[in-house]
Chain A
Amino acid sequence: MLNIRDWSLAKREAAAGYFFILPWIIGFTLLTLGPMLASLYFSFTDYNIVEAPRWIGLNNYTRLFNDELFWQSLAVTLRFAVLALPSGLVLGFVLALLLNQDVPGVKIWRTIFFLPSVLSGVAVTLLWLMLFNPELGVVNKLLEQIGIKGPGWLQDPDWAVPSLAIMALWGVGQNMIVYLAGLQGVPADLYDAAKVDGANRTQQFRYVTIPMMTPVLFYNLVLGLIGTFSYFTQVYVATGGSGGPARSTLFYNLYLYQNAFRYNDMGYASAMAWVLFVIVLTLTLLVFRSSSLWVYYEGELRGRR
């Protein structure tokens, strides 16, 4: 049982907590909540943007489940997620470990691996279109040198999604930076303590580095999940918005975009958006639920009184 002193302390703590998150609460209420609710409303309407929305109940949602392209776009996105998400998480971590070593010129190395994430937009995609060019591109020219006939990459329906995953991996520097920041935050005395306990390097890595890195890994996983499901700009530029060849790169958000701004069906697009919202939220909740099993916080509040 809590006594009054505890209550007032708890209340004071809660009040301070609410006070600190106030900037977000204000911004959310004034700038974000309204548009979100508006799109929820649109998802129950027939809305071509030009004319006023007309209420049609659950129609958009029932249509979705019978729409082959909806399922196709979901499958394309999942395929990309499987290819790009785990590899990006692991590669970023490995790179960060390497770049946390005391090697000559480490600042230069870090800068090089960070370079791709600095580039964005049209230029990168145009560049990769050239590199992946089936006949003349450097990628296939290099493969030819080692005796492999390269595929048609972005022009080949089977290879288009893997090509985009490779493009995404090239920009893994963003993940790497977060891990690197995490590695910097691991206090040296933890390693010292482990050494005193006689832990060898592998054990130090297993029992100090990994646990201390889990909060960062958790962050990269959750944001990677959200980012993968909202993948759009690169495929939009690379395919001119078509999702080709032969719909092989019709990502969920590309199909959503087509519905909103090409087919004048914002109601349907909004329904798609809210279905995606539920999918991503569910996955995120699962990750959050599981986090108590594998994410270790040095400064965790749970269980403290």
Chain B
Amino acid sequence: MMSRKIILFSVLVLALLLVGTVGAQDKVKVTIFVGLGTGTDPDQITQQEALAARFNESHDSIEIEFLIVPHDEAATRLLAQLSGGNAPQLVGPNGISTIAQFFDAWADVTPFIEAESFDTSDYYAPSLELNKYPTKNTGLPLGLFPSFMIYNVDMFDAAGLDYPPTDYSDTTWTMDEVRNRALLMTLDSNGNDATSADFDPDDVVQWGFSDAWTDTRGLLTRWGAPGIGRPTSEDFVTATANSEEWVYGMQWYSDGMWVDRFIPNAEQVSSMETIGGSPLESGMLAMFYTHTWYLGEAILDLPFEVQVGAAPFNQKGERIARIHADNFTIPEAAEHKEEAWEVMKWLTAPEQIVDVCLIYGCVPARISVADAFGEAFAAKFPTLDLEVIYESINYLDAPNHESWVPEWGRVSDALNNAGSLVTSGTNTDAKAVLDAANAEVQAILDEYWASQGS
């Protein structure tokens, strides 16, 4: 009798163990590679782990794990994993530039969308376009990072100037007007502003305007060139980096830095970053042009008040407000694409997207959650005007300043070198700098097309 019970018990235990292990094996593990963009801050790591726990509790067949890789080494690790037969199932959040940089690595999600007639009508229409390329659609939109002017209210008060408008129909808000107000808020250590005859340009302690936290394409996208943020013709054959509009824009920044002095140069920006983390936070800058990813905890406890205003009109009377967008992508080398697609859907579903976007600092790309997000945003940043930020989406730059071009990295670095020549004061002649950069880009394109032909 005893032995029978023991046998029965053992069989039961064994069966349970078997079921247990089989059950565990049934779960497909979807690893999510985080590190090419945001997501590696200690706080974010904890929040992502909570998100993973939420997913894993509610799913029987799929298990997710966030794979955190510090940003500096993320590219190396990702490529090692992709080539080593050890690819993550999902990668993200990725900006448009990251997707462009590793363009060949991503799988097309169009078959998944078509197979289940996935409803994409809830996404902002432009956000769907940002991930679509002639050859593939790299993923469902997750979030957008619209841009805006964030400013130091105290400095406007101190100078007795009007704040940047929140009304997008105010056509007086142009880049020239930005310059006018910036000059009045640019001060030397004696308190003379940049329009004063006594102003000492070598002793500036407060600057009017900066757009330092973007690359050259980002700086120049607003000036209304035919390619907007793209430095080539539409067929990517001809370089157009020295277009009239880009030269105009580059000279505007160059003069602002080296003639009028209302824009801090690279050296001065580095000083501001050293003390403040960013130019605006240093308390030495009146207006900073940036994106929603900039809005973090730090903004909350600044010793001065900040507010957001609309993007200005350019010299052609157009308003182009550059935008960033994040999504998750599935590597071509991923083993479990079906499951990765399920996770991608879950992360961008209305039930989760607000929480996911709060981790990464983006505006959800779904229309239906705007109110829910608005509440969460207001709870976090009670004083900031979210309407201004939302409205900026209507003026996004298309083609985007981060969009794919052949040899994306080489082209970007050639243009960034041009920007660096200007901001370091090595060469302040925008035409000369962009002509040289354009020749460089053209050579890169020629080589690319030649190799495609062979």
Interface residues of A (CB under 8 A from B): 46, 48-51, 122, 129-130, 133-137, 152, 154-157, 236-237, 241-242, 244-247, 258, 261-264
**Would you call B267 and A50 a contact (CB within 8 A)?**
no
**Would you call B82 and A135 a contact (CB within 8 A)?**
no
Q: Considering only CB atoms, which chain B residue lies closest to A261 in the complex?
A: B75
| Alpha-carbon separation in the docked complex, A35 to B10 (Å) | 50
**Would you call A263 and B409 a contact (CB within 8 A)?**
yes
Some 20 contacts from A to B, beta carbons below 8 A apart, are A49-B82, A49-B83, A50-B83, A50-B102, A133-B270, A133-B271, A133-B274, A134-B271, A135-B271, A137-B274, A152-B267, A155-B270, A155-B424, A157-B426, A245-B266, A245-B420, A246-B421, A258-B409, A261-B75, A263-B410
19 new A-B contacts at CB < 8 Å, known A242-B420, A261-B76: A48-B104, A49-B82, A49-B83, A50-B79, A50-B83, A50-B104, A50-B105, A50-B332, A135-B268, A152-B267, A154-B270, A155-B267, A156-B424, A157-B424, A246-B426, A261-B79, A262-B413, A263-B410, A264-B101
| Alpha-carbon separation in the docked complex, A233 to B268 (Å) | 25
B285-309 interface (Cβ within 8 A of A) = none
- Asked if B335 is an interface residue, CB under 8 A from chain A, the answer is no
Q: Which residues of A contact B110 (CB under 8 A)?
A: none
Give the number of residues in B that approach A within 8 Å (Cβ atoms).
Answer: 31
Taking the closest CB of chain B, its distance from the CB of A21, in whole angstroms, is: 31
Q: Which residues of B contact A237 (CB under 8 A)?
A: 72
| Alpha-carbon separation in the docked complex, A247 to B437 (Å) | 13
**Would you call A236 and B72 a contact (CB within 8 A)?**
yes
Q: Considering only CB atoms, which chain A residue lies closest to B105 in the complex?
A: A50
- Asked if B417 is an interface residue, CB under 8 A from chain A, the answer is yes
Q: Which residues of A contact B271 (CB under 8 A)?
A: 133-136
Contact of B416 (CB < 8 Å), options: A46, A122, A242, A264: A242
- Asked if B333 is an interface residue, CB under 8 A from chain A, the answer is yes
Q: Is the interface of B mostly helix, strand, loop or mixed?
A: helix
Q: Considering only CB atoms, which chain B residue lies closest to A130 in the complex?
A: B274
| Alpha-carbon separation in the docked complex, A237 to B76 (Å) | 15
Q: Which residues of A contact B268 (CB under 8 A)?
A: 134-135
Q: Using an 8 Å CB-CB cutoff, how does the interface string of B223-238 with A read, 1 for contact, 0 for none?
A: 0000000000000000
Q: Considering only CB atoms, which chain A residue lies closest to B265 in the complex?
A: A155
Q: Considering only CB atoms, which chain B residue lies closest to A52 in the complex?
A: B83
The 9 closest A-B pairs by CB, nearest first: A135-B271, A245-B424, A155-B267, A263-B409, A262-B409, A246-B420, A261-B75, A152-B267, A134-B267
Taking the closest CB of chain A, its distance from the CB of B422, in whole angstroms, is: 9
- Asked if B451 is an interface residue, CB under 8 A from chain A, the answer is yes
Interface residues of B (CB under 8 A from A): 72, 75-76, 79, 82-83, 101-102, 104-105, 266-268, 270-271, 274-275, 332-333, 407, 409-410, 413, 416-417, 420-421, 423-424, 426, 451
Taking the closest CB of chain A, its distance from the CB of B231, in whole angstroms, is: 16
| Alpha-carbon separation in the docked complex, A245 to B424 (Å) | 7
Interface centre among A129, A152, A236, A245 (most CB of B within 10 A): A245
Q: Considering only CB atoms, which chain A residue lies closest to B76 in the complex?
A: A261
Contact of A135 (CB < 8 Å), options: B79, B267, B410, B421: B267
Taking the closest CB of chain A, its distance from the CB of B373, in whole angstroms, is: 31
Q: Which residues of A contact B333 (CB under 8 A)?
A: 50
**Would you call A156 and B76 a contact (CB within 8 A)?**
no
Q: Which residues of B contact A49 (CB under 8 A)?
A: 79, 82-83
Contact of B102 (CB < 8 Å), options: A133, A134, A154, A264: A264
Contact of B104 (CB < 8 Å), options: A51, A155, A242, A244: A51
Q: Which residues of B contact A241 (CB under 8 A)?
A: 72
Q: Which residues of B contact A130 (CB under 8 A)?
A: 274
Q: Which residues of B contact A50 (CB under 8 A)?
A: 79, 82-83, 102, 104-105, 332-333
Contact of B270 (CB < 8 Å), options: A134, A236, A242, A247: A134
